[in-house]
Amino acid sequence: MNTPCPTCANSELRDTTLDEHLPAQSCPDCRGTLLSLIAYRDWRASHAAPIDAIEDSGEASHVDDNKAMLRCPQCKGFMTKFRFSADTRNHIDLCDRCDQVWLDHGEWRLVEQLARSGQLAKIFDANWQKKLREEQARRRGEERWAAQLGEDYARARELRAWLALHPKGKELLAYMFLSQTDGV
């Protein structure tokens, strides 16, 4: 059975393994990988050993991320893109009819830690995606403040953390606020 690559026009996927007991199919041209969530769950149940952290080999910049809508190589339906971490802009593509995930070249390494801790399938649930959006919004907010405050941002952040934990934080804030409004 030949499975076409969802991102290359004329390539066929070949059998491979992502881990010793985790079969998948990969494209010899774009080096992307099609992973069955059924195979993933089997591997997770029987073989996956948790790892503490992925060693950073400095290859992060070589991770691909296909922006186009992909069609599932099995059912030809459109796959859905999911971001999986606020630390990266990468997406993985899911066909929820066939339970197949497409990982662009290098993306396995980005999701490996999640996969080994049993969280790969959780990426696709609404709660995960909601938390991710909240984290992204929080980071965008911080970025705006950093741009606005410039070199004082780090100090302001420190002060803010101090106020947040201080039992008289509100009073201290009011005191400082007054110095700005009344000029006192």
Q: Kindly give, in sequence order, each residue whose CB lies less than 8 Å from that of residue 179, ignoring residues fewer than 6 positions away.
A: none
| Binder of Zn ion out of 97, 133, 139, 160 (CB under 5 A) | 97
Helix (H) or strand (E) holding 94: strand 91-95
Closest CB 73 distance from Zn ion, rounded Å: 8
Query: Does 95 contact Zn ion by CB under 5 A?
Result: yes
Q: Which stretch binds Zn ion (CB under 5 A): 10-18, 43-51, 82-90, 107-115?
A: 10-18
Query: Does 72 contact Zn ion by CB under 5 A?
Result: yes
H helix runs in 70-125, sequence order: 107-116
> Residues 146, 148, 150, 155: what is their CA dihedral angle, to the nearest 10 degrees?
-60
Helix (H) or strand (E) holding 55: none
* Residue closer to Zn ion, measured from CB, 9 or 49: 9
Query: Does 99 contact Zn ion by CB under 5 A?
Result: no
| Binder of Zn ion out of 18, 22, 27, 70 (CB under 5 A) | 27
Query: Does 11 contact Zn ion by CB under 5 A?
Result: yes
Pairing of the two strands 91-95 and 33-36:
unpaired
- Residue 93 phi/psi, 5-degree rounding, is -105, 135
Closest CB 25 distance from Zn ion, rounded Å: 11
Footprint on this chain of Zn ion (rule: CB under 5 A): 5, 7-8, 11, 27, 29-30, 72, 74-75, 95, 97-98
